[in-house]
Amino acid sequence: MEIITEDSVTVTAIEISEFSHERAHREMTSLANIQPNLVAFMVEFTQDLDQEVSALALFWFFNICRMFQQAYRRPLKQVSNDTIFECYESNESLIDSLEHTHDRFIERIASIQLSDQPYVMQYLVESLFEQVDEKAGLELTEDDTGYLFLLFKTVVDSLNNTTDEVKF
């Protein structure tokens, strides 16, 4: 898949932020029907996080999927469990190799160089590193941030690999 533009990422994030609670629920239910493996992956891997962090992770996950849907302009092919597992394992190895690297350097390379979708990753890195939910008083821990980055990079890579053969 070609690179999702920065404008597309921004427009999609703004659109989703304006969804009513009911519409967000409907859209997430629809996504679960279209991408059951990805939804199951995210639900399974976020269930042990604090409830607020898990809810925020699922919101960002929905954003990622919507960015791909909007850019792809046709129904996305279902991501297989094998693709998700391969991407997860690859990303876990990458993160392990960066263990002793300075955080700001990791933030910079993560947003630009570690993905075929740099603008989607930039949105996620900015969201993760700058996230403070003033209404709920939610601030992500370093462990939560690193773990969520691994999950989101897996989702982005899985979606990108699944749509890779088609140009838009």
82 confidence band (pLDDT: 50, 70, 90): very high
**What's the CA gap between 73 and 70, in Å, rounded?**
5
Predicted TM-score (pTM) of this structure: 0.85
**What's the CA gap between 133 and 139, in Å, rounded?**
7
Q: Are 91 and 154 in contact (CB under 8 A)?
A: yes
Three-class SS state of 132: strand
pLDDT at res. 114: 62
- Bridge partners of 139? 132
**What's the CA gap between 160 and 138, in Å, rounded?**
30
Report residue 54 as tokens.
Answer: 């898990």
pLDDT tens digits for range 107-153:
655 555 567 899 999 898 888 877 655 445 677 888 888 899 999 99
- Give the pLDDT mean for 36-59: 94
